[in-house]
Amino acid sequence: MTPIMRTVRARALVAAVVLAAGALGAGSSQGVPAGAPRTASTAPGLAPMADDGCDLTASEPPAKNPNGARIRKIRERGSLVVGVDQNSYNWGFRNPQTGRIEGFDIDLVHALAKSILGDPDKVTLKTVPTARRIDAIKGGEVDMVVRTMSVTCDRKKDIAFSAPYFRVTQQLVVPRAAKATGFAEALRGKRACVADNSSSQAELKRDGRGTAEVRTVENQLDCLVLMQQGLVDATLTDNVLAAAQVAQDPTVRLVPETIAPGYMGVGMNQADTDLVAWVNQVLAERKANGDWRASYDRWLAPTMGASPDGYLP
Amino acid sequence: MATPVVTESQGTVATVPGARRGASARLRQAASTPPGRLRVAGAALAALVVLFGAVAVEQVSTRATAAGRVVSGSEPLSQDAAEIYRSLADADTTAAAGFLLAADEPAAVRQRYEDDLATASRLLSEAAARTGSSPGAQRPITELNRQLPRYAGLVETARADNRQGLPLGGAYLRYASALMQDTMLPLAQSLVDAESGRLDADHGDASSFPVAALLLGLVALGALVRYQVVLFRRTNRVFNTGLLTATSAVLLAVVWLTAASASAGAALATSRRDGSQPLRELDHVRIAALQAHAAENLNLVARGSTDTYTKRWSALVDPLNAPAAQAGSFGHAVAAGRPDAERPAAEAERAFADWLSRHRAAADKDSAGDYDAALRGTLSSGGNDTADAAFTTMDRKLAEAATAEQHDFEAAAGGVDGFLEVYAAAAAVLTALAVGGVLRGIGRRLAEYR
C-alpha cells in the first residue's frame, strides 16, 4: 500500500534503536491478540534514531496560530483537503454499506477539520496513489496526507511530519494452523508474501531467513487473498496492516515477534509550519482528552489488543 | 456423387477389348490395325472424359462441402468462439459493476452476470462435445472449463467479503479479474483464433477455382475435336452424332463449371467482404470496449490504490478512439459495415462518444477527491446519464449491427453450397452422356469394318 514509504523506512528503521513495541500475542478464539502478554524489548521512551542521525519524532512545537498562511488558505477554501487511503481496513477504508470512508486515520482527519474549520465534515478526502503522495504534498494538491504513513529520514528531506501519533513495527501473518512463534520458524522453507516496493520486501531481500519463495504483490491485502487460496504461507507487513488482515479473516493470526520499529505521522508541506504546529496541538489534545484512546478502542482494540500502551507514542 | 459414374464407365470401358489389359505389347499390336486403333482411341477418349467428369464432380463437391461448412459450421463456430470471449469479458465487467453497486445492485445486473456465465458455460460444453473441433480449439476449451468455476468462486468470495464491509472483497475481485484478464481471456482468444483460422481455411477451400477440372475439361474437349477432324479426313464423313453429343456435353460441362465456380467465388467473396469481415471488426470493437469498461469499473473498485486500471483503460480506448482510417478503430469498424448495419453502428458510435465524455467527467471528479460523484457518474442503479448507461446503449447497438452483418453473410453465402451441388450432379450426368456419345460414335465406325 505504501511502497515508497516502506522502502525508505526500511533503510531508516532497520538500523534504528529497538523501541518498546507491544508484541502482539497469538490471541483469543477470534484470532484477536487481546490481552496477550506484551514483551517490551528495551528502553521504552527512547526516541529511535536513524543511522543518518535524524530524529524521527522531531516536529514543530504545538501551537494554534489562526494567522498562519496555510491555515488562512484552508479557512478561505472552507475545506481541508486530505490525501487518504480507501483500502486500509480500520484505518482508512470505504464502508460499502454507508459509502463513507472511515477508520482510525479518518477520525483524526475529522478532528483536524473540526479544529481548523469548526466542522468535522468540512473535508475533501482524496485517494492519492502511493507513488504520488510526496508530489501531492509538495505540489500543494493536498494539505496533508493521513494514511498509515511512516516517518522516515529520507522522507523528512522532502516533506514535514507531525509529531508521531502511532508506533509501528513489522509483523508476520500466518494461517492459524501454523505453529510458528518467531520469524525463523515461520519463514524457513516457506512461501512468503510481501507488497512490492515495501520495506518488508527490502527486509526479506536483506535477510531471506531461508524462505523457499517470496511472492511480490501490488497490495499487502493481495497477500491475504493468496493465503486464503493456499498459495503462500506467511505475509510480512506493517503490524497495523497485519492486524487489519487478521480483522478480516479470523483463520489467520499474527506471529508475536516484531521487527523494525518506527512511527506514523501526518505528512505536510515543509513550508506550512503553521499547519504542522496546529496538527501537533490537535494530536496533543487528542492524547490528553482521551479521543485518541476512544478512536483506538473503536477501530483497533478488537484486533490489536485492549491496551494501546505499545502503540501510543 | 462420383462413384456411380466411375462404376458405369468402368463397366462400359471393359467392353472394349484390349484397352484395359494394359500390356503395352498388346496395345501396340491392337494399334497396328485400323479397328484396333479405333478401339484404342475410343478407350482413350472415354477415359479422358471420365477422368474430367470424376475430377469435376470431386472438386466441386469438395467446394460445396466447404461452402456448406462455412455457412453452417465454421462461421457459426467462430461466432460461438467470439461469443464465449464476449460473455467472459462481460461477466468480468458486470461482476465489477455489481460489486460497486453492492447493496444497491439491481436484479438485472446480477442476472446479466449469471447469464454471461451460463452462456459461456453452455457454449463451452457444446464446443467440447463437438467432435469436429479443430485440435487448436480443444486445449483452450478444456482449460476454460476448468477455470470458469474457479473464477465464479472468487467472485462470490469477493461479494461475500464486500457485503461484510471488508476491503478484502476488493482484493478478491481484482484477483478474480486478473484470472479472467491474464489467463481466461487469452485462452478464449486462442479459441477465437483457432475457429477464425478454420473459417478462413474453409472459405479458401470453398472459393478456390477447380483448375484441374477445367484443364482436364479443355484437354478432353481438344481431344474430342481433334479426333473428329482426324476421322473426317480419314472417312470424309462430316458428322459423327455420338462424338458430337460427347463434345457438346463436355463443352457444356466446362462452361457451366467455369460459370458456377466464378459465381460461387464471387458470392463467397461478398459474404466475406459484407459479412464475416465487418462482423469480425465489430466483434473486436465490442470486446475491446467491454474490457475498457471492466477497467473503468475496477479502477473504482481499486479506489486509487493502483494506476493499473487507468493505464489499461487508455491502452484499450485510445486505439478505439483513433481516426476512422485506422484499422481497429471504432470509426473503421462502422465504415466497414453494410447499409443495414450502418444505422445501429452509427448510433453505437454516438453512444461511444457519450461514454467517453461521461467517463472523463467521472475521472475528473475522482481526481478531485469526490469518489462518490465519480461512482455516481460511472454507474448507478437505474441511472441513465451514467457512463455505464452510455456503454450499455453502445453495446446493444453494436449487437444489432452484428446481427445485420450476420444476415448479410448468410444471404451472400447461403445458397453457394446448393448450387455447387447441383453442378456436381449435372457434371455427373453430362459425363455419362459424353462417355455414351464417345462409345456410340466409335462403335458406329467400328461397325463399318465388319
Instruction: Give the DSSP letter string of B390-430.
Output: HHHHHHHHHHHHHHHHHHHHHHHHTTHHHHHHHHHHHHHHH
In this complex, do B368 and A248 lie within 8 Å of one another by their Cβ atoms?
no
How do beta strands A123-127 and A80-84 pair? parallel
The interface predicted TM-score of the complex, written ipTM, equals 0.71
| Residues of chain B positioned with their CB less than 8 A from the CB of A94 | 167, 303, 371
C-alpha distance from A33 to closest chain B C-alpha (Å): 19
N- to C-terminal Cα separation, chain A:
23
Confidence check: pLDDT of B248 > 80: yes
The answer to whether the CB of B294 falls within 8 A of the CB of B93 is yes
- The string of pLDDT tens digits covering residues B65-82 is 888 888 888 888 888 888
pLDDT of B450 reads 64
Q: Is B178 on the interface with A (CB under 8 A)?
A: no
How is residue A131 annotated by DSSP? G
Q: Identify the burial level of B1 via C-beta atoms within 10 angstroms of its C-beta, where 0-12 means exposed, 13-18 middle and 19 or more buried.
A: middle
How many domains does the structure of chain B reveal? Answer: 1
Which string of b and e fits B12-39 if b means at least 16 CB within 10 Å? bbeebebbeeeeeeebeebeeeeebebb
In the predicted structure, residue B28 carries a pLDDT above the cut 60: yes
Strands A267-268, A144-145: pairing is: antiparallel
Query: Contact A33/A181 with Cβ under 8 angstroms?
Result: no
Neighbours of A283 (CB within 10 A): 24
Cβ within 8 Å, pair B308-A218: yes
Q: What is the pLDDT of residues A236-262, one digit of tens each?
A: 998 888 998 998 999 999 998 988 888
- Taking residues A75-84, report their average pLDDT: 94
* Confidence bin at A71 (pLDDT 50/70/90): very high
Proportion of chain B above pLDDT 90, given as a percent: 35
What pLDDT is stored for residue A53 in this prediction? Answer: 66
> Which chain A residues contact residue B170 at CB under 8 A?
87, 221
More confident residue, B13 or B235: B235
> Would you say A186 and A174 are in contact if contact means Cβ atoms under 8 Å apart?
yes
Tell me the nearest-neighbour CA distance from B362 into chain A, angstroms. Answer: 14
Cβ proximity of B398 and B285 under 8 Å: yes
The reported pLDDT for the residue numbered B133 is: 60
pLDDT in tens, B407-446: 888 888 877 888 888 888 998 999 999 999 998 888 888 8
Find the length of chain B. 450
The residue segments making up the domain with residue B415 are 3-447
Cβ distance of B167 and A224 shorter than 8 Å: no
Q: What is the pLDDT of residue A52?
A: 56
Select from B167, B367, B372 the Cβ nearest to the Cβ of A89.
B167
Contact B171 A222 (CB under 8 A): yes
Q: Which residues of A touch B299 (CB under 8 A)?
A: none
Cross-chain Cβ contact A85/B306 below 8 Å: no
Q: Within an 8 Å CB–CB cutoff, is residue B168 touching chain A? A: yes
Task: Give the chain B residue nearest A131 (alpha carbons).
Answer: B306
Residue B289 makes CB contacts below 8 A (sequence gap 6+) with: B316, B320, B352, B391, B394, B395, B398
Looking at beta carbons, which residues of chain B come within 8 Å of A246?
none
Domain with CATH 3.40.190.10 in chain A: 69-165+265-304, 168-262
Four-way CATH pick for A69-165+265-304: 3.90.550.10, 3.80.30.20, 3.40.190.10, 3.40.50.150:
3.40.190.10
CA of B311 to nearest chain A CA: how many angstroms apart?
13
pLDDT for B220 beyond 70: yes
Closest approach of B320 to chain A, Cα-based (Å): 27
pLDDT attached to residue B175: 94
B160 and chain A in contact, CB less than 8 A: no
pLDDT surpassing 60 at residue A228: yes
Q: What is the DSSP string of B115-153?
A: HHHHHHHHHHHHHHH-TT--HHHHHHHHHHHHHHHHHHH
Question: Which of B94-103, B129-138, B261-270 comes out lowest in average pLDDT?
Answer: B129-138
Contact: A218, B306; criterion CB under 8 Å? yes
Nearest CA to CA, how far is B400 from chain A (Å)? 36
Q: Does residue A43 carry a pLDDT above 70?
A: no
* Confidence at residue B394, expressed as pLDDT on a 0 to 100 scale: 93
- Most confident of the following: A122-131, B121-130, B309-318: B309-318
Assess whether pLDDT exceeds 60 at residue B6: no
State yes or no: pLDDT of B41 exceeds 50.
yes
Residues of chain A in contact with residue B304, where contact means CB-CB under 8 angstroms, are 85-86, 126-129
Least CB-CB distance to B167: which of A131, A218, A221?
A221
Rounded mean pLDDT of chain A?
A: 82
Number of residues written out for chain A:
313
In chain B, what residues touch A93 (CB-CB under 8 Å)?
167
CB spacing of A127 vs B303 below 8 angstroms: yes
- Indicate the residue of A128, A218, A245 with minimum beta-carbon distance to B304: A128
Check B305 against A219: CB less than 8 A apart: yes
Q: What pLDDT sits at residue A275? A: 96
Residue B233 has pLDDT above 80, yes or no: yes
Q: What is the pLDDT of residue B95?
A: 92
A8 in contact with B, Cβ within 8 Å: no
CB pair distance less than 8 Å for A85 and B308: no
Q: What mean pLDDT is predicted for residues A65-72?
A: 93
Q: What is the pLDDT of residues A125-179, one digit of tens each?
A: 888 766 678 888 999 989 999 988 888 888 899 999 999 999 999 999 999 999 8
Q: Which amino acid is at A141?
A: E
Tell me the average pLDDT of chain B: 85
CB distance B300 to B170 below 8 Å: no
Contacts of B302 in chain A (CB under 8 A): 87
B311, B305 contact by CB (below 8 A): no
Residue range A168-262 in CATH 3.40.190.10:
yes
DSSP class of residue A55?
B
Average pLDDT over residues B157-162: 91
Using CB atoms and an 8 Å cut-off, which of residues 86-105 of chain A contact chain B? 86-89, 93-97, 99, 101
pLDDT beyond 50 at B354? yes
For the residues A16-32, what does the mean pLDDT come to?
32
Nearest residue of B to residue A141, measured between CA atoms = B368
Has residue B238 got a pLDDT over 80?
Answer: no
* Rounded distance between C-alpha atoms, residue A252 and residue A255, angstroms: 10
What average pLDDT score do residues B325-346 get? 82
Burial of A66 (0-12, 13-18, 19+ CB in 10 A): exposed
Residues of B in contact with A231 (CB under 8 A): none
Lowest pLDDT segment from B14-28, B81-95, B368-382: B14-28
Nearest to A221 among B168, B370, B371 (CB): B168
Of B103, B163, B369, the CB nearest to A125: B369
- Given B175, B367, B369, which is nearest A225 (Cβ)? B175
Supply the pLDDT for residue B18. Answer: 44
Q: What is the Cα–Cα distance from B151 to B155, expressed in whole angstroms?
A: 6
Compare A99 and B228 and report the one with higher pLDDT: B228
Q: Are A268 and A160 in contact (CB under 8 A)?
A: yes
Helix axes B387-413, B339-367, angle to 10 degrees: 160
| Closest to B104 in 3D by CA, of A95, A86, A97, A100 | A97
Of B171, B304, B371, the CB nearest to A224: B171
Q: Which of the residue ranges A106-115, A205-214, B69-78 would you say has the lowest mean pLDDT?
A: B69-78
pLDDT at B134: 67
Q: Do B167 and A87 touch (CB under 8 A)?
A: yes
